[in-house]
Amino acid sequence: MILRPVQPAPPSANGASPAWSVVERTQRQPYDACWMITQPSHAVLASEFAAKLTGTNLPAIDAEIVRAIALHDAGWGVPDAQAIMQSRSVGKNAPRSFVECSVGEFLFAWEKSIEIAASSSPAGGFIVSRHFTRLAQHSITQLSGPDREKEERFLSHESERQSQLTSQQSYSKEELELLTDVLQFCDLLSLYICCGAQETVEFPEYFGLKTRLSIAGGSYKLEPALLPPGMQFKVAAMRHPATKGESGREIAIKFE
């Protein structure tokens, strides 16, 4: 689950921060009231960004790849549904952000997501698998003991899966890496927007570009402009705790 404060903090004037650092910080803060955005909903938003990306550095992004990006967090569907039910129960249990999940919970959701994407297309399964192995290769350096062993087994299994999927589709290895960049950029862009942060942020280098995102007057601005000006999107959110006046809404997203 992605948590978004009901009242986001005002934008900072301290320059640009790394996008993931801002996302993680918002997700580790306690909230008495917040909006809940499911991982599958965030993934659909990421796919809508991917379908509209424009720029000379970008690889060709067809419907098969857009669908894979839409499915890349499908494995979180059941855990997120359970969290929503618990937040609506008599006890109104506060939802946990995805960053608070254990290594075992992460790996279970990642593997389910990869299986679902692979059932849609081999290329889609590859880029979703590659996306999560990149994340695991980064996080494993901070792990030890049983958690490190779990991620090592995950990486070994996904390496085998990627070899099999590579032979079942027509993209080159270089193209698959660029398409994984597209997934990772759109994933992080969606996470940042869903978490409700207002700070100017910079993204890691993807497909040969380093991108900056700022917000002013309620509109987002990407530099370079990887989305056509005036693009608008929506994502569904549910309120915790629900009130008599409002239990959910669609959050509008607009780009300059």
pLDDT at position 10, please? 74
- Model pTM score: 0.96
Could you write out the DSSP letters of every residue in 42-70? Answer: HHHHHHHHHHH---TTPPP--HHHHHHHH
pLDDT of residue 90: 67
Phi, psi of 164 (to 5 degrees): -65, -45
Q: What pLDDT sits at residue 13?
A: 67
Question: Which tens digit of pLDDT belongs to each residue from 61-120?
Answer: 999 999 999 999 999 999 999 999 888 876 677 889 999 999 999 999 999 999 999 999
Using DSSP, how many helices (H) and how many strands (E) does the chain show?
8, 8
CA atoms within 13 A on the CB side of 76: 24
What's residue 73's pLDDT?
98
Rounded to whole angstroms, how far apart are CA atoms 158 and 35? Answer: 34
**Cβ-contact 59, 207 below 8 angstroms:** yes
Number of Cα atoms under 13 Å in the Cβ half of residue 204: 11
- Report residues of the chain scoring pLDDT below 70: 11-13, 90-91
Q: With beta carbons less than 8 A apart as the criterion, state whether 27 and 97 touch.
A: yes
**In the chain, how many domains are there?**
1
Range of the domain at 127: 2-254
